[in-house]
Structure 1
Amino acid sequence: MGNDQSQERNHTVRVKVVAVNKDNSYAGEMECKREMSFSGVDSYTANQLVEKERDLMRQQMEISMSNMNRAAALPDNERRYVTYY
């Protein structure tokens, strides 16, 4: 178990958010990819950090897409967001 912490862990975190209009038509998408590397942490902690980063990426993209809706004078309730990991 002590050896588990000495391994370096590399992760590629990918998140894609697709905007869908109320009528289920495609409205656009954003995709983000980040490379993460961990050393000195166990696999559980590394996975927790990856999940936290993935959630933050999703939130940031949804906020950006919502801001673009406002810039285009679209009400927030006109679109929903679907996230792919």
Structure 2
Amino acid sequence: MAFKQTKEVRADLDGVTGRARAWTTEREPGVISLAVPADRVTMRPEDARALAKWLEEQALIEERKGGVAARGPYGRKVWA
């Protein structure tokens, strides 16, 4: 039986309505993921600031790691 263990750093935000989850894993160095399970979360300004702060902190950590994905296959997506 194979057993894999992966380190994950996760932030959960409970908004006024809905919730959001952001995370990073050692499996995908340089990548920060964000999910909104019910398609939408509404946040108070302090919630949005807390999420932005967490994302900024994780971005700095991931950049310092210099992972492959930091400049690799996950290029910057331009939203129209």
Structure 1 or 2, whichever has the larger Rg, is 1
Structure holding more helix per residue: 1
TM-score if structure 2 supplies the norm length?
0.40
Relative CO higher for 1 or 2, CA cutoff 8 Å, sep ≥ 6? 1
TM-score if structure 1 supplies the norm length?
0.38
